[in-house]
Amino acid sequence: MENLLGNDSSGPEHSSHSLKAAARRVRPARRVRPAQRVRSLSPGRRRRVIGVASLRLATVWLLLATLPLAAISAPSGVALDPEAASWVERTLASLTVEEKVGQLLLPRADGSYRHPDDPELVNLETAVAAGRIGGAVLFAGDPDATRRLTERLQRAARVPLLFASDYEWGVAMRVTGATGFPRQMAFGAVGDPGEVERLAAITAAEARALGVHLVLAPVLDLATDAANTVIGNRSFGSDPERAAVLGDAFIRRLQAGGVLATAKHFPGHGATATDSHRGLAVVDLDARRLAEVELLPFQRAIAAGVAAIMPGHLAVPALDGRRDRPATLSPEILDGVLRGRLGFEGLIVSDALEMAGAREAAWDGAVTVAAFAAGVDLLLVPPRPEIAWDALMRALRNGALSEARLDQSVRRILEAKARVGLHRPRSAVSTEPPVGDPAAAVNARRVAQRALTLVQDQGGILPLSSRRPPRILVLDYLAESDRSTDPRPFRRELSRPARAVETVSLSRRTVAASASQIEELAGASDLVVVAHYTHDRNWRPPVEGGADRPGTGELPALLERLIAAGRPVVVVAFADPWVLTAVPGASAHLATYDGGEASQRAAALALFGERGIAGHLPIELAERWPRGSGIELPAPRGLELTAPEEVGMSREGLDKALAVIERGIAEGAMPGAVVVVGRRGRLVLEEARGRFDVDPASSRIETSTRFDLASLTKVVATTTVAMILFERGELELERSITDYLPELANPELRGVTVADLLTHTSGIVWWTDLYRRHGHLEPAAAKRAYLEEIGGLPLADPPRTKTVYSDLGILLLGEILERVGGRPLDELARTEVFGPLGMSDTTFRPESSLRDRIPPTELDPWRGRMIQGEVHDENAWGLGGVAAHAGLFAPGRDLAAFCQMLLDGGVYRGVRVLNGATIERFTRRAELVPGSSRALGWDTPSDPSSAGQYFSASSFGHTGFTGTSIWIDPDRELFAVLLTHRVHPSRDNRKLLALRPEFHDAVARAIIDQPITPRPPEP
């Protein structure tokens, strides 16, 4: 399906231009006078049309005459190729009257698994074999069962069957496992035809894979009535021009994909509060409004060559003078307006005839005959297809219907079948791609993100802080009968950055009983988030002149009490944006237009600033929130260099920090260095000084230079992977290491936990020269030998009695992580940390081609050469350069991204790597040994400290033997990265040890917007 994904205009910058361009593609066609249309009718139909030409209808014709006639294009108005046309005529001539009537009927068929001898399935197959139905409308099911059903019924049919289904937001609307997109209103909020085209292309491919030929979409009703819950987020919005352009995009792309489109529900269901599933809706709009607004999207659909149009079960008095008859049964609307004035020549398909709006005041057989007599070609979902067939046959026999009229519809149906290739020999095996391609789901997630609309943000409450995460009370509000909405994705995604999440599930009937519990929980929370998943009229604006509704306002009133008490409230409208008007005092209003998993995740990420918000209302919510409004929050960006004063630091102070490094180079503490300092999400210092080695002619250090990080590997790679696995529940800190490494020979190790390894309190010997005994082996064999030797060494001290920095303990930890994570450590670090953070230049074992970008470390007497581009640490070298304690190479900018992620609660550039709670746990002192400065993997400031005396007690950091360090101060939102190669040419050079605290002191004292005092001495 790769040709369907992203090969058309797609970027956000495309939206407004593509809307205008798409509008220009629609060309007015030649005008045809109404009288010419009337004269072309048969005498009986001409009398019928003329007989209803009241003054009101004359006004309608006059208005409609001012609209340009649709320019018919593929597929409904383009002549079939000779082969297909010949098949249509041959097939039509071969059909009996009984079989012709059968072609009109498409009953309901479930796509779920059924036993081959299931009575309903056998009856359906029998009707197909007898020619009593022309296809079916497919409802809920799974891909395999749906495909088996269409293939089985096709095998039983003499004339190929036409299968239809409501795939308004993708095939997943009816088929589990298929690609599901947000509802149409989300596309209206984005406004990009390119996104709609991708929806249509993917829908077409998946529909074909299931044997479906007619998609009952797009919905072209305009969402103009706040009390309308049946259309709601199924609509593109209230703007007729936008609905027309987006509908055009869907129709053209779907039909280019070999599947027929259906524009519905003509002439527009959006301006009425009645649900036509439950009763006859009446559209009380005048003719001018209909002509200028509601009909425009349908007119454009005809111009786009839409194959089918579905009239709604709604009365439109302005078009036929009656309030008691739906458009489905109105010849004045179907034959007079749709075919006569608008020039539509394709299929007219009914909405489901089992709906109450079609059956009001008539029995099933009469409804079927009346719909066909009014101009419907395909009769969808009659309650009992056998009764519908009998009624049509009786009407033909008694002369109420003519066979000429029957042939007219059957010819259209056969032409539609030919347009989707049903006239060609059928293959017994599907060659279509499977549904649910993960690559297609990327498009759905993007639309969900782009559609998010921030309607209100009082006081700039959004985005919420990942750095100081709030305690959140989530109120899930669902309809009692809703069994399809799963609110857990939103809760799960919120739980990652939040300090704590408490949830109360509500419906309209349970609000009052839960009120006291909600008020108590809200009092213990920092924020209340209402996740509203339903189209509930009790939350919508009241209908003018309507009676009070039971239960109206119970939860909104409770929320207003919480707001008055000073508790921030955020309302997220997952289905119905109009519900936002019920709580005008909320701190923030966010509309997603859809309650699917992609929209839930997008909303949660956006609340914490991990994604931007750029959608705009496709409807008018209220006078204060007109169509097109929306507050944009920028998408997260990476670190940018900025003036220090913008983040409360001074240039002069940072120059002093840089001067410390320059002095160190001059005094021989190191040949060169890279310094990166960041505060409050911005870089304030990124400088390189010195050269690769002591030779003044050697290469200059650049900010992109990669350094051997030595023991920074322990935190950047090993500890971070441990945090991720711990967070997932796969790594247990208090579990004995022998549970993970049962082959360890020393029984004393049973008392050592994973946490002991991370805090260097295991009692394991700190170091031994493993490389001398095993470095000659291949890396895999060397690793086994290392593990065996370490596992047999006696402990230097009992666990948790002393803190002794141990490389050997971290080597054991690395082996545990690989076993728990199921992959080598370097792969875990690359996929779980470096890749998500964009640390593209951070790697173990750098390629030889990068050697000139890496300064040399030591002239190693054991290896007998200058070490450059390979790991300095000998034990890591013996493992082939990949080890848990050393081996990583990186530039300063990559480490800056890593530090900022930790400062921002585990998020960088909108990507979450860790939870804030996990970072807090791993970076505070573990206190496994009293007085120890060690956290889980990390170190904290002690007296003295390489962090100096001004980094706060909440700071955490680490150093590397080669002369590298990172220190992070969450209280001051500050980090400092210092990369040197102080071991060049010899590790005996220890001048950096005194220089490093001085550098960090200068960095901290460059802060000018808050008092900077030394850390209090430790007790």
Query: 3-state SS of the chain: helix, strand, coil percent to 5?
Result: 40, 15, 45
Catalytic residue among 144, 277, 390, 482: 277
Listed in sequence order, the residues at least 6 apart from 963 whose beta carbon sits closer than 8 Å to its beta carbon are: 670, 710, 979, 980, 981, 982, 983, 992
Name beta bridge partners: 678: 683, 975
User: Could you give the CA distance from residue 685 to residue 651 in angstroms, rounded to a whole number?
Assistant: 9
Count CA atoms within 13 Å of residue 230 on its CB side.
22
Listed in sequence order, the residues at least 6 apart from 812 whose beta carbon sits closer than 8 Å to its beta carbon are: 737, 741, 757, 764, 787, 790, 791
Q: Are 237 and 188 in contact (CB under 8 A)?
A: yes
Catalytic residue among 351, 437, 693, 708: 351
- The answer to whether 377 is a known catalytic residue is no
Segment (H or E) for 522: helix 511-523
Name beta bridge partners: 165: 215
Q: Are 909 and 635 in contact (CB under 8 A)?
A: no
Three-class DSSP category at 703: coil
User: Could you give the CA distance from residue 316 to residue 274 in angstroms, rounded to a whole number?
Assistant: 13
User: Could you give the CA distance from residue 823 to residue 820 in angstroms, rounded to a whole number?
Assistant: 8
As given in the structure block, the two tokens for residue 641 are: 């260099």
**DSSP 8-state secondary structure symbol assigned to residue 531:** E
**DSSP 8-state secondary structure symbol assigned to residue 351:** S
User: Could you give the CA distance from residue 670 to residue 385 in angstroms, rounded to a whole number?
Assistant: 88
Closest CA to 322 of 382, 374, 264, 376: 374
Query: Burial letters for 307-336: b for 16+ Cβ neighbours within 10 Å, e otherwise?
Result: bbbbbbbbbbbbbbbbeebbbbbbbbbbbb
Determine the longest span between alpha carbons in the chain, in angstroms. Answer: 111
Using CA atoms, how far residue 718 sits from 723, 743, 746, 798, 884, in Å, is 9, 22, 24, 24, 6
Ramachandran category for residue 630: left, alpha or beta (phi over 0 → left; psi -120 to 50 → alpha): left
User: Could you give the CA distance from residue 756 to residue 434 in angstroms, rounded to a whole number?
Assistant: 50
Name beta bridge partners: 501: 472
Q: Are 274 and 281 in contact (CB under 8 A)?
A: yes
Segment (H or E) for 99: helix 97-103
- The string of DSSP codes covering 951-985 is S-TT-EEEEETTTEEEEEETTTTEEEEEEE-TTSS
What's the angle, vertex CA 62, arms to CA 57 and CA 64, rounded to 5? 90
Q: What are phi and psi of 741, to 5 degrees?
A: -125, 70
Listed in sequence order, the residues at least 6 apart from 957 whose beta carbon sits closer than 8 Å to its beta carbon are: 938, 939, 940, 941, 946, 947, 951, 965, 966, 967, 968
Q: Using CB atoms within 10 A of its CB, is residue 911 exposed (0-12), middle (13-18) or buried (19+)?
A: middle
As given in the structure block, the two tokens for residue 498 are: 């939040």
Q: Are 733 and 928 in contact (CB under 8 A)?
A: no
Radius of gyration of the chain from Cα atoms?
35
As given in the structure block, the two tokens for residue 186 are: 């989300």
Segment (H or E) for 138: strand 135-141
Three-class DSSP category at 260: strand
Q: Using CB atoms within 10 A of its CB, is residue 1010 exposed (0-12), middle (13-18) or buried (19+)?
A: exposed
**DSSP 8-state secondary structure symbol assigned to residue 701:** P
- The answer to whether 776 is a known catalytic residue is no
Three-class DSSP category at 755: helix
- Give the active site residues: 277, 351
